[in-house]
Structures are given as C-alpha cells and as structure tokens.
C-alpha cells in the first residue's frame, strides 16, 4: 500500500504507512486526502485529523438515529437499535421469531413488514371498545377506527346499514386534526359454525394485492398508494374452531364435539397477512412489553 511521505526528503519523519499500521485506506482517509498527495510536509497529524473528521460525522449520524427498543411476539426484550446513550424514542414488536432473530443480529427493524409499534393504552382501550360494540347486539356490525403515529385514535365509526364499516370518516377526522395516520383497525362479526364448516372471520376480506374499495385488502392497498399508512392494519375478529375431545375412559369414537370461539387479532398489509394471535395473548404481550420497558428504563 502506498505510503504518504515527503517525496523531497526520504528521511522525513512525516510519514504514515497505512499498511504497516494494519488499517485500510477507507478506514482512515477521506476523499479530501487526495488534495494533499504530492505536497511536502504531509504528516501523521493531518491524516489523523481527517480520520477524526470522518469519525465525527459518523458519530453525529448515529446520534441523530432514532433509538428503538425491540420486543418479540411474546413480550420479551430483543435488543435496542440506534444510539444506546439516548433515551428510547420508540418501542416495537416483531411478530415472528425469524424477524426478531434477524434484528437481534443487526438487521434494521424498518426492513420488515411484520413489525408493529407497541400500541398505546388509548389504542388498546379503543380496540377493546370496538370489539365490545360489535358483539353487543344480535345484528353485529363492523366497527373501526384509525390510529395516528402519535398513538392517538379517531372516534369509532361504522356504516350501520350493510354491516360493513366505512373507514373514510375516521381518516378524515385524523386529517382535520393534523395527525399523520399509521394504520387502521376494524372488527369482523362473530360468524357461525355449521357442522364442521368454519366461517372464519378473523382474516381480512378479499384477495391479496387486489384493489377493491369494499374489501379489506383492497382498501388497505389504496391507503398504501396514498401513503396514508406506515405499518400493518388490524382485523379484530373471531377464530372459530371445532374440536372433538374424548371423554374419560373413552376408547372408540370421535369424542364430544366442542365449538371454540376466541377473539383474534390479525395484522395485514396489501401484500398479505403479517401475523396474528388471540386477542387475550396480544393484550398479555403488550402488558409484558410495558412492564419490561419500565424495568429497563429504571436500570438506566
């Protein structure tokens, strides 16, 4: 590797041989060093100053980076990204083991679609109210609301005629308030089980990547095109299952038929489903994240 030295005086002490120091040129020298080549009196201090200038720029970039605490779908702490010396500015949940593992190894959480912001108390309370409203009458009607990037929510809206929610008024409300939206949330009715046929209501309606205004995937796709959403939307529905459980000491036969219904949350984008779990499990995850966040903050 080339040595930078005073060409007019081979014995000049102003010499910095990068190769002997075991460092790469890119690590120590900025492009500005080209202006110094061939000039006399190029010394170590000048080269060191250039290196320090580069390091300072790098440090400043790190200081400006958002500090984010990452948790997994079980509510366990994974890692903190950004500048560890700064206070935590955001907390997120990776919805899959593979994503949590990749982020822990150094991947950016921003590169994954199955990462959501840790919901605020207001979001969780509004979601529970939407579920309760949907299930409060025999004629179940979808309920929905919009969430801002600041963790606030719109009023809960519904259509009231054909059972499907119309989210437009909720988006308009947030726009009037000057709040940038992050995603929307809506409920699905309870559904029915006929024999062993399950009318699943916990998944988005429609087909992935299809733009149809009255179906979940399509409406979400339109909002993505408008850049009105920044993370997965939620469907709050029910996971309906039929199981056959053998009675005590039963040898033959299918066993007793049991219908299982549980509130379920599904996260989705226009591209497809990003994850899901029972609503009770999700509430437990959020509570666990908040408790662990408080403990980590207390240690700091």
The span from the CA of 157 to the CA of 137, in Å, is: 16
Sign of CA dihedral 188, 128, 220, 109: negative
Question: pLDDT-based confidence at 162, cuts 50/70/90?
Answer: confident
Higher pLDDT: 242 or 218? It is 218
Q: HSE of 122 in the Cβ direction (CA atoms, 13 Å)?
A: 12
Exposed, middle or buried: residue 257 (CB in 10 Å: 0-12, 13-18, 19+)?
Answer: exposed
Residue in 60, 100, 58 with CA at minimum distance from that of residue 81:
100
pLDDT digits (tens, 9 = 90+) for 44-77: 455 455 445 544 444 444 456 789 999 999 999 9
Average pLDDT over residues 158-165: 80
Residue in 4, 71, 10, 29 with CA at minimum distance from that of residue 292:
71
Higher pLDDT: 24 or 249? It is 249
For the chain, the domains span 3-64, 68-116+291-299, 120-269
pLDDT exceeds 80 at position 41: no
Average pLDDT, the chain: 80
Provide the pLDDT for residue 191.
Answer: 67
Q: Are 270 and 225 in contact (CB under 8 A)?
A: no
The first and second tokens of residue 163, run together, are 């059972």
Average pLDDT over residues 244-253: 76
Partners of residue 256 on adjacent β-strands: 245
**CATH code for residues 120-269:** 3.40.140
Q: Are 265 and 279 in contact (CB under 8 A)?
A: yes
Higher pLDDT: 34 or 287? It is 287
C-alpha 298 chain-centroid distance: 24
pLDDT digits (tens, 9 = 90+) for 103-137: 999 999 999 999 999 999 999 999 999 999 998 87
pLDDT digits (tens, 9 = 90+) for 166-218: 999 999 999 999 999 999 999 998 765 555 555 668 889 999 988 887 899 99
Residue in 237, 275, 270, 236 with CA at minimum distance from that of residue 124:
236
Sign of CA dihedral 217, 221, 223, 229: positive
Provide the pLDDT for residue 107.
Answer: 94
Higher pLDDT: 281 or 240? It is 281
Average pLDDT over residues 239-255: 77
Q: What is the pTM of this model?
A: 0.74
Q: Are 263 and 280 in contact (CB under 8 A)?
A: yes
What secondary structure, in 3-state letters, does 126-161 show? Answer: HHHHHHHHHCCCCCCCCCEEEEECCCCECCCECCCC
Question: What Cα–Cα distance (Å) separates residue 34 from each residue in 52, 81, 161, 223, 250?
Answer: 16, 35, 72, 49, 86
């Amino acid at each position: 590797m080339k040595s930078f030295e005073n060409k007019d005086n081979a014995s000049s002490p102003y010499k910095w041989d990068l190769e002997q120091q075991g460092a790469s040129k890119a690590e120590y020298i900025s492009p500005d060093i080209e202006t110094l080549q061939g000039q006399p009196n190029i010394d170590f201090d000048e080269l060191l100053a250039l290196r320090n200038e580069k390091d300072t720029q790098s440090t400043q970039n790190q200081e400006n980076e958002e500090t984010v605490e990452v948790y997994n779908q079980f509510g366990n702490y994974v890692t903190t990204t950004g500048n560890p010396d700064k206070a935590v500015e955001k907390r997120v949940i990776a919805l899959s083991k593979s994503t949590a593992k990749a982020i822990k190894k150094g991947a950016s959480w921003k590169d994954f679609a199955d990462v959501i912001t840790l919901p605020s108390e207001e979001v969780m309370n509004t979601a529970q109210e939407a579920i309760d409203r949907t299930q409060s009458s025999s004629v179940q009607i979808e309920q929905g609301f919009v969430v801002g990037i600041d963790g606030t929510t719109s009023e809960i809206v519904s259509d009231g005629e054909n059972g499907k929610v119309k989210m437009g008024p909720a988006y308009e409300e947030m726009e009037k308030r000057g709040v940038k939206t992050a995603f929307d949330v809506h409920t699905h009715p309870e559904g029915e089980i006929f024999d062993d046929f399950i009318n699943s209501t916990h998944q988005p309606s429609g087909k992935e990547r299809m733009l149809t205004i009255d179906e979940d995937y399509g409406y979400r796709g339109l909002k993505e095109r408008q850049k009105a959403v920044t993370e997965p939307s939620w469907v709050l529905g029910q996971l309906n299952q039929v199981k056959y459980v053998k009675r005590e000491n039963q040898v033959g036969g299918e066993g007793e038929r049991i219908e299982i219904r549980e509130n379920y949350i599904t996260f989705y984008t226009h591209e497809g489903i990003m994850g899901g779990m029972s609503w009770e499990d999700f509430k437990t995850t959020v509570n666990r994240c908040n408790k662990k966040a408080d403990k980590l903050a207390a240690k700091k």
